[in-house]
Amino acid sequence: MIEARDLRKEYGDFVAVEGSTFSVDRGEVFGVIGPNGAGKTTTLKMLSGLLEPTSGDVSVAGYDVTDTEMRQQLGFLPEESPLYEEMTPLSYLRFFADLYDVPTDVATERMHDTLDELELEHRERKLGDMSKGMKRKVAIARSLINDPDVLVYDEPASGLDPLTTNYVIQFTEQLAREGKTIVFSAHNLYHVETICDRVAIMNEGQIVARGDLEALQDEYGDREYHVYTTVEVPGAVAENGNWRRVVETMDGVEDVRAAAAERGGEVIDIRTEESSLEEVFLNVAESETPGTRYVEEA
Each of the 298 residues of the chain gets a pLDDT tens digit; together they read 899 999 999 999 999 999 999 999 998 999 999 888 899 999 999 999 999 999 999 999 989 988 888 989 999 999 888 899 999 999 999 999 999 999 999 999 999 999 999 889 899 999 999 999 999 999 999 999 999 999 999 998 877 888 888 888 888 889 999 999 999 998 888 888 888 999 999 999 999 999 988 888 888 888 889 999 999 999 999 999 999 999 989 999 999 999 999 999 999 999 988 888 888 888 887 765 554 444 454 3
Q: Is the pTM of this model over 0.85?
A: no
Q: Give yes or no on whether 2-218+278-287 and 223-274 have one common fold.
A: no
Please state the separation of Cα 3 from the chain's center in Å.
Answer: 17
Contact 217, 49 (CB under 8 A): no
Q: How many CA atoms lie within 13 A of 200 on its CB side?
A: 25
CATH number of 223-274: 3.30.1490
Task: State the pLDDT at residue 293.
Answer: 47
User: Would you give the DSSP letter of residue 129?
Assistant: G
pLDDT in tens, 97-121: 999 999 999 999 999 999 999 889 8
Assign 261 to helix, strand or coil.
helix
Q: How far apart are CA 111 and CA 141, in angstroms?
A: 7
- What is the per-residue pLDDT for 197? 93
Q: Where are the domains of the chain?
A: 2-218+278-287, 223-274
- The dihedral formed by the CA atoms of 111, 115, 118 and 124, expressed in degrees to the nearest 10: 140
- Residue 164 CA to residue 161 CA, distance in Å, equals 6
Cβ–Cβ < 8 Å for 217, 280? yes
pLDDT of residue 298: 36
Q: Are 5 and 56 in contact (CB under 8 A)?
A: yes
The type of residue at 142 is: R
Separation CA 277–CA 221 (nearest Å): 8
For residue 127, the tally of other CB atoms under 10 A from its CB is 20
* pLDDT on residue 161: 85
Q: H or E segment at 298?
A: none
Instruction: Let me know: does 129 contact 158? Beta carbons within 8 Å.
Output: no
Residues in contact with 286: Cβ distance below 8 Å, sequence separation at least 6, in sequence order: none
pLDDT confidence of residue 165:
87
* pLDDT at site 144: 95
| Amino acid at the residue 43 | T
Q: Which CATH superfamily is domain 2-218+278-287 in?
A: P-loop containing nucleotide triphosphate hydrolases (3.40.50.300)
